[in-house]
Amino acid sequence: MQTIQANNYQVFFNDNGYTYLTETLTTSSYSKIFILVDENTAQFCLPKLLASLATEIEIEIIELEAGEEHKNIETCLQIWHSLTELGGDRKSIILNLGGGVITDIGGFIACTFKEVSILLIFLLRFYLWLMLL
């Protein structure tokens, strides 16, 4: 499958995406990987992602309830608390595994947890229909 070149980034598909993600994780010095999911992506997409990740970095899963109504500051507070309790730091990476709610909240969390310019984010927009192909 091809890669799409956008202005300042590339979009990878299928195994190309997993290869790029693995290369990114192994060539960087992340302290911990946090994967943000909702209950749907936890069930249908997370097992495939975990099976495809080749890393020795510790992985923590943060699961939210699905639905637009959970895109609020209370959910953000819960995630910030989870990141703190699970040892998140400026060298952690957040993988957002889901659609709009997960990537919107995950992006906001990454920009506001610890130091804005230090915590890195890697947005994964997997949709159930893509994962099940």
Its pTM stands at 0.81
- The DSSP string of 61-98 is EEEE--SGGG-SHHHHHHHHHHHHHTT--TT-EEEEES
pLDDT recorded at residue 73: 93
Angle at 125 between CA 15 and CA 101, to 5 degrees: 160
Query: How many angstroms separate the CA atoms of 4 and 40, rounded?
Result: 27
Question: What is the residue-level pLDDT of the chain in tens, covering all 133 positions?
Answer: 566 777 776 676 666 777 888 888 888 888 999 999 999 999 988 998 898 888 899 999 999 999 999 999 999 999 999 999 999 988 888 888 888 899 899 888 988 887 533 333 444 444 433 444 4
pLDDT recorded at residue 12: 67
